[in-house]
Amino acid sequence: MTGSQTLIKICGLTDEEAVETAVEAGADFLGFVFFPKSPRAVTPERVVQMVADLPPDIWDEVKTVGLFVDPTDAELDDVFRILRLDVVQLHGHETPERVEHIRLEYGVEVIKAIGVATAADLDTAKAYAGIADFLLFDAKPPAGADRPGGNAISFPWALMQDWHDLTETPWLLAGGLTPDTVADAIRQSGAPGVDVSSGVESAPGEKDPELIARFIAAVATEDEAAALG
């Protein structure tokens, strides 16, 4: 583990090598997508296989995250019958009431994703502060996109500087992050956490272990530089 101060989530994991690399390099969250339209979609059975050989002691430091888009209770039940997740990430139009229901019904933490293009979009997030355990600020998908995230686009990261004084709810930055851009993104946004998916892939849905390791190392280097002032 790197001991990085900035929280790191690697999302859209689809194979054992990528999972192992993420854990060994120091990721805090392992993200798995349960949204059929995504090229990163997996089944709960497949996730069980992917994490089966990880050392048991890592679960004190690493959390599993399931990404859903407007899931019904039945859809969540189908996953939870097979796989116990630590966190549910909601990437659809879920209301604050729905977020609270899932937290209580399933006994999990919830990350609520908010699409951002302009400063006005941050107002949407205020309704979820103090209800969701984490907020995730991602770029709004382009017109005509058939999935809400993983589109490899960013928004003006400096917009997030105005968010810090509005809530104590932890948050992560996503959208267009890569090993080469993440340090600048952290500096511009002040993000306490980052989330990457397509930015560490060699092709849609195919994670590159080298890029995962480089991404996490870049975050750790930025943390060290920030600590030195």
Catalytic residues: 11, 138
Within 8 A by CB and 6+ apart from 88, the residues are 65, 66, 68, 76, 102, 106, 108, 109, 110, 111
Q: Taking Cα atoms as reference points, which of 82, 90, 9 lies closest to residue 46?
A: 82
- Say if residues 82 and 51 touch (Cβ distance below 8 Å): no
Q: How far apart are CA 104 and CA 78, in angstroms?
A: 17
Residue 89 identity: Q
Q: Taking Cα atoms as reference points, which of 139, 140, 115 lies closest to residue 125?
A: 115
- Neighbour count for residue 123 (Cβ, 10 Å): 10
Q: What are phi and psi of 162, to 5 degrees?
A: -80, -5
Indicate if the alpha-carbon torsion angle 41, 44, 50, 55 is positive or negative: positive
